[in-house]
Amino acid sequence: AQSVTQLGSHVSVSEGALVLLRCNYSSSVPPYLFWYVQYPNQGLQLLLKYTSAATLVKGINDFEAEFKKSETSFHLTKPSAHMSDAAEYFCAARSSARQLTFGSGTQLTVLP
Amino acid sequence: DAGVIQSPRHEVTEMGQEVTLRCKPISGHNSLFWYRQTMMRGLELLIYFNNNVPIDDSGMPEDRFSAKMPNASFSTLKIQPSEPRDSAVYFCASSLEGDRDSSPLHFGNGTRLTVT
């Protein structure tokens, strides 16, 4: 069964610093991979998705993620954190079974 | 595009009562998902419909939970009888499924259920 691991349930960065949120998947066949963001009292919004067209995927709000098959990773980065980036971030993987499996989430705090 | 619409946003009920959560997917989407989110278990897929037909309900916790999709624009998740451990945020999501599996899910804002 597909599984998704997010290292670090809480990450704090200073405003303007690099954001790095880690995600690893377990699958013998590279799945489709997604990053979602959840703001308080809201549903999940798609940030970006990997569909094998390119290993470096750019998303909204200057977020990007790089697919590394050798490391089974799909880490999310942003060069410069803004206060408005404070939210919970979820990595997700979708296999041929068409079910979307979510990681446990990483709460990002941005310090002034 | 109004997005996925869920109602109610908040529901507080007493143990033993019936609870019905409602979802209107995005027009034109052919797949609908119900998820439950709790601090302890994170996001769990409860059931998945494709073209109004339940495809996978293995995530439904027990017989107290049931879901229906009578048409392409409406789905319900019912809990009868409700228990305090059912307290969670329930999300509905929809997508346009094709031959590929890369279709993203579009989520509603959720229903926060509290069972006392």
Q: Do B101 and A32 touch (CB under 8 A)?
A: yes
Question: B111 contacts in A (CB within 8 Å)?
Answer: none
Contacts with A78 (C-beta within 8 Å, 6 or more apart), sequence order: A18, A19, A61, A62, A63, A64, A85
B48–A43 C-beta distance less than 8 A: no
**Is the predicted pLDDT of residue A92 greater than 60, yes or no?**
yes
Q: Does A87 touch chain B (CB under 8 A)?
A: no
- Whether the CB-CB separation of B76 and B20 falls below 8 Å is answered with yes
Mean pLDDT of A75-95: 94
Tens-place pLDDT, residues A39-51 = 988 899 999 998 8
Determine the residue of chain A that is closest to B31 in CA distance: A98
B107 near A CB under 8 A: yes
Angle (CA) B99-B110-A50 rounded to 5° is 35
Q: Walk along chain B (116 residues) and give the pLDDT tens digit of each residue.
A: 689 999 999 999 999 999 999 999 999 999 999 999 999 999 999 999 999 999 989 899 889 999 999 999 999 999 999 999 999 999 999 998 876 667 889 999 999 999 99
pLDDT in tens, A19-33: 999 999 987 666 789
* CB contact (8 A) between residue B45 and residue A99: yes
Confidence at residue B1, expressed as pLDDT on a 0 to 100 scale: 64
- Count of alpha carbons within 13 Å of A59, Cβ hemisphere only? 22
Instruction: Give residue A53's pLDDT band: very low, low, confident or very high (50, 70, 90).
Output: confident
Q: Which residues of B51-68 are buried (b: 16+ CB within 10 A; e: fewer)?
A: ebeeebeebbeeeebebe
Identify the pLDDT of residue B17.
97
pLDDT above 60: residue A97: no
Residues from chain A contacting residue B100 (CB–CB below 8 Å): 32, 51
C-alpha distances in angstroms, B113 versus A1, A29, A35, A37, B79? Answer: 29, 37, 26, 21, 11
Q: What span, in angstroms and rounded, lies between the C-alpha atoms of A89 and A108?
A: 7
User: How many other CB atoms are found less than 10 A from the CB of residue A11?
Assistant: 18
How far is the CA of A57 from the CAs of A64, B26, B46, in angstroms?
Answer: 5, 26, 29
- Strand, coil or helix: A84: helix
Place of tokens 């590394």: A68
Count how many Cα atoms sit within 13 Å of the Cα of residue A58 in the half-sphere of its side chain. Answer: 3
Closest to B59 measured CA to CA, from B95, B35, B87, B75? B35
For chains A and B, what is the number of CB pairs under 8 angstroms?
A: 51
3-state secondary structure A59-108: CHHHCEEEEEHHHCEEEEEECCCCHHHCEEEEEEEECCCCCEEECCCEEE
Contact A43 B56 (CB under 8 A): no
Q: What is the pLDDT of residue A31?
A: 77
Listed in sequence order, the residues at least 6 apart from A58 whose beta carbon sits closer than 8 Å to its beta carbon are: A48, A64
How many CB atoms are closer than 10 A to CB B78?
15
